[in-house]
Amino acid sequence: MNVGIDGFSFYTPKYFLPLQTLALARQVDPQKYLRGLGQYRMAVLPPDEDVVTMGANAAVNLLNKHSLDDVDLLLFATESAIDQSKAGGLFIHGLLKLSERCRVVELKQACYSGVFGLQLAVSFIKSKMAKKVLLITSDNARYGLATAGESSQGAAAVALLITENPRITALEEQAAFCSFDTMDFFKPNYMSEAIVDGHYSCTVYLNFLKKTWQIYQDETGLGLNDFSAFCFHIPVPRLVEKAYQQLDKHSALFHQEALLYYSRHIGNSYTASFFLGLASLLEQSSCDFTGQRLGCYSYGSGSSSEFFSMIVQPNYKKHLNTDYHMHLLENRIELDIKRYEEFYDFNLLDHVNGCSIPCTVHSGYYRLVKISNHQRIYALHTQQKDLERQVVDEKFYIF
């Protein structure tokens, strides 16, 4: 049975900070960020957006080409959870008015849980436990103002539909994986920012790549020549350039620039970053990958990794959302350092008494309106009400 990705769409907030601006504010040579780390801009989450609104905003765009009525499993992968009990995906289930006959679960293992969600979705479909899976990966990467990791922050969500006879990529069965207890990057429950041992984390990322790629080759008998392109988890573009170098010196042959394009302009988005890379590779490369094999490496700090492969399906280009994604990226608002720091320092705890959260003009389709009785209340953005879609329930118009 052929199972894999039938459609995907990403969302990233409408605000960004140029890394040149950050460098000047932090008194760092801009070339360190632009060339040394290969990062040009970072997406910045406004106060009235979170992983739920980003995920819903990513998924709502799928409705242009797909029906979500028969989704019977929603997997929500994040490491920026908004609740320690309730799955963030249940808010999205409500906003999109998905069927009651749908399982909803949240997955966690750092940046790896998105790819694990993909594998889980494929096995649910193959074993007939689900017909159509909506996988949402959504994260806001935060390291703290003026920290070494600050330049690799970012935010995005990717929504994917996983089905039988997929129109974009089909997963192959072979996969190699690896886990080991490390403390390269972690986020205790009482903290809103990750603690990261930056250089150590990069070493672990590359060591895990070496191990999983070796296991994959040993177990499948496949080698570099069996792949047309590679898709990696992208925490920092420069690290992925090193990953390409580790696999093979001729990285240009494997479409490195196409893979990294979106991430260079968005930054890290943890669970979403692998899929942002996949979108970038397929949408930004002029090559036709039909029938070709993509090698895929996912890494999640802590640490777990996986190497697997996908076959690109005929006519896949017709099912991409390139124009929409480019429109999103080209119509963002540039922040100065003061506004960026205000957005960053916004503290939701000051708003748990039910007062409204400041409405930013350029939020996405859905926004976070307030927290009432400790419950998050989401709504259509006021400016979007004219574009109302049938999937949105009246009960969300409470402001």
Q: Would you say 143 or 216 has its CB closer to ligand CAA?
A: 143
**In the complex, minimum distance from the CB of residue 268 to ligand CAA, in angstroms, rounded to a whole number:** 5
* Dihedral (CA of 140, 146, 147, 150) sign: positive
Q: Would you say 34 or 105 has its CB closer to ligand CAA?
A: 34
Q: What are phi and psi of 333, to 5 degrees?
A: -100, 130
Binding flags for ligand CAA, 132-161, as an x/- string (CB under 6 A):
----------------xx-xx---------
Say if residues 338 and 367 touch (Cβ distance below 8 Å): no
Based on the shown chain and the rule CB under 6 A, indicate whether residue 301 belongs to the binding site for ligand CAA.
yes
Of residues 233-292, those binding ligand CAA (CB under 6 A): 233, 235-236, 238-239, 268, 270
Q: Active site includes 359?
A: no
**In the complex, minimum distance from the CB of residue 365 to ligand CAA, in angstroms, rounded to a whole number:** 27
Q: Please give the structure tokens belonging to residue 151.
A: 């330049």
**In the complex, minimum distance from the CB of residue 26 to ligand CAA, in angstroms, rounded to a whole number:** 10
Binding flags for ligand CAA, 182-211, as an x/- string (CB under 6 A):
--xx----------x-xx-xx--x------
Q: Would you say 208 or 366 has its CB closer to ligand CAA?
A: 208
Q: Would you say 94 or 198 has its CB closer to ligand CAA?
A: 198
**In the complex, minimum distance from the CB of residue 198 to ligand CAA, in angstroms, rounded to a whole number:** 2
Based on the shown chain and the rule CB under 6 A, indicate whether residue 35 belongs to the binding site for ligand CAA.
yes
Q: Active site includes 111?
A: yes
Distance CA 248, CA 246 (A): 6
Segment interacting with ligand CAA (CB under 6 A) among 24-32, 113-121, 130-138, 306-314: 24-32
Say if residues 260 and 229 touch (Cβ distance below 8 Å): no
> Which of 32, 65, 108, 210 lies at the binding interface for ligand CAA (CB under 6 A)?
32
The residue nearest ligand CAA at its CB is 36
Catalytic site residue from 66, 93, 233, 325? 233
Q: Would you say 167 or 233 has its CB closer to ligand CAA?
A: 233
Based on the shown chain and the rule CB under 6 A, indicate whether residue 80 belongs to the binding site for ligand CAA.
no
> Which of 5, 17, 19, 37 lies at the binding interface for ligand CAA (CB under 6 A)?
37
Based on the shown chain and the rule CB under 6 A, indicate whether residue 81 belongs to the binding site for ligand CAA.
no
3-state secondary structure the chain: CCEEEEEEEEECCCEEEEHHHHHHHHCCCHHHHHHHCCCCEEEECCCCCCHHHHHHHHHHHHHHCCCCCCCCEEEEECCCCCCCCCCHHHHHHHHCCCCCCCEEEEECECECHHHHHHHHHHHHHHCCCCCCEEEEEEEEECCCCCCCCHHHCEEEEEEEEEEECCCCEEEEEEEEEEECCCCCEECCCCCCCCEECHHHHHHHHHHHHHHHHHHHHHHHCCCHHHCCEEEECCCCHHHHHHHHHHHCCCHHHHCHHHHHHHHHHHECCHHHHHHHHHHHHHHHCCCCCCCCEEEEEEEECCCEEEEEEEEECCCHHHHCCHHHHHHHHHCCEECCHHHHHHHHHCCHHHHCCCCECCCCCCCCCEEEEEEECCEEEEEECHHHHHHCCCCCCHHHCCC
Q: Active site includes 362?
A: no
**In the complex, minimum distance from the CB of residue 34 to ligand CAA, in angstroms, rounded to a whole number:** 8
Of residues 108-137, those binding ligand CAA (CB under 6 A): 111
**In the complex, minimum distance from the CB of residue 181 to ligand CAA, in angstroms, rounded to a whole number:** 15
Question: Could you tell me how many residues of this chain bind ligand CAA (CB under 6 A)?
Answer: 28
Q: Burial code of 69-84, b = ≥16 C-beta within 10 A, e = fewer?
A: eebbbbbbbbbbbbee
> Which of 299, 307, 316, 344 lies at the binding interface for ligand CAA (CB under 6 A)?
299
Give the footprint of ligand CAA on this chain (CB under 6 A): 29, 31-32, 35-37, 111, 148-149, 151-152, 184-185, 196, 198-199, 201-202, 205, 233, 235-236, 238-239, 268, 270, 299, 301
Active centre residues (catalytic): 79, 111, 233
